[in-house]
Chain A
Amino acid sequence: MNAEIFPAACGGVSKGKLGRRPASSAPVGPGKPLGGSLASSAGGKAAFKCRLLFCAAAWPLAGCVDVKPIEVKPIHVIVDVNVNVKVDKSLDNYFDDIDEKSTTIAPDAKPAAQPAPAPVPAAP
């Protein structure tokens, strides 16, 4: 990935080949040979080491690129609803005695009993 982000710094080495030393002495970088000719010059060696170090240092940063925000809204809504239900229950527990004695507040409406099903008329 770093090779794609920093092609010039890593000498154009593709992702799969990073860290491997090429078997042949074919040029890998942009116009710069790697291998024997590189080893022969002290400056080229230093430059190669510098590139390697740069790539190695930048490698851990690759994980920081694609961080997606976590969606937390639905969880928040559920928590709010649960808290409201709890508060409602607590308020009911406290005010139920007062409401029962009050003449202006009706007691809690209980679900009406289901009427018995009408008898099915017998077939003639």
Chain B
Amino acid sequence: MKPSLVFRFSFAALIALAVVGPAQAQAPAGAIPLSVLRKYQEKRLPALDALKISGVVGENNQGFVEVRGNGGDSAANLVADENHDRAVVYTLFARKYNMAPEQVGLLRARKIAEKSKPGIWLQAPDGTWYQKK
């Protein structure tokens, strides 16, 4: 007995979902709306600010945060989450303006360096770290 056409199609669709599904789940940009991302970032802002004030975390010259001292796993996880969200934002703007996400990150890094308050650790364009005065 031959399998029906519908059965064949549904089987092929199941296989396609199994293959493509995980790949789509990993796609960062465009999957989460910006408003949701902003809420995530605002939620982790107090903890991130505390780490930045204590000097454990600094702002690097690519528009991302970086663990500088010994902050433990919690600091590393927080930084990883924040950097993931920032990367999504940079990628979205890069797509919008047809440029590389790294360039958007550089622009944001420059702005952060300008606006950061004294005492925050920043990375200069040449890679050296300094505390803003």
Contacts and interface: CB of A to CB of B under 8 A. Distances in A.
A87 B49 contact: no
Contact of A87 (B38, B107, B115): B107
Contacts of B49: 102-104
Interface residues of B, number: 24
Contacts, number: 57
Main secondary structure of the interface of A (DSSP, over half): helix
B104 A91 contact: yes
B42 interface: yes
B117 A104 contact: yes
B77 interface: no
Contact of A88 (B38, B52, B111, B115): B111
Nearest to A86: B97
B67 interface: no
A64 interface: no
A32 to B, nearest CB: 65
A97 B53 contact: no
19 contacts: A87-B93, A87-B99, A88-B107, A90-B93, A90-B97, A91-B104, A91-B107, A94-B38, A94-B89, A94-B93, A97-B38, A98-B38, A98-B41, A101-B42, A103-B49, A103-B53, A103-B117, A104-B52, A105-B112
